[in-house]
Amino acid sequence: MACHELSALRIALGELLEKEAHDLLHEREELAPALEGRPELKALTEERTLPGIRRQLEVALAHLEATDPGDEPYHRGLLLATEAALQRLRALEAEAERLFQEVDLLHHRLHRLFPRKRA
């Protein structure tokens, strides 16, 4: 078993951050065989928004939780690593939402300080 969930997440985040194609080439090559039988991972690699990446990682985690553990210590470690990545992604999404709200507030304050002149 390989850490396909983390590779798929890395590809999605790399695309979101507009990383160079060669930076993700190894991940894509390594993950390609697994994508055929794992539509949830394929969807994760194709997602291009932060909320979408979070939702697709939640689906991938649910699939991982439902699978036969096989190599128990590795499977448990992969579960914990994927859960940790999901928590970081949720925190990042919450921080981006706070920034969005703060920019809106700053915009309104700026217009109160410097009202538009009407003709």
For the stretch 64-104, pLDDT in tens is 999 877 768 998 999 999 999 999 999 999 999 999 999 99
Instruction: Find out whether 35 and 2 touch, Cβ atoms under 8 Å.
Output: no
CA distance linking residue 111 with residue 22, whole number of Å: 44
Task: List the alpha helices (DSSP H) in the chain.
Answer: 4-16, 21-35, 39-46, 50-66, 72-113
Taking residue 81's Cβ as centre, other Cβ atoms within 10 Å add up to: 13
- Rounded to the nearest angstrom, the gap between the alpha carbon of residue 16 and the centroid of all alpha carbons in its chain is 8
The answer to whether residue 35 scores a pLDDT higher than 60 is yes
Is the model's pTM score more than 0.85? yes
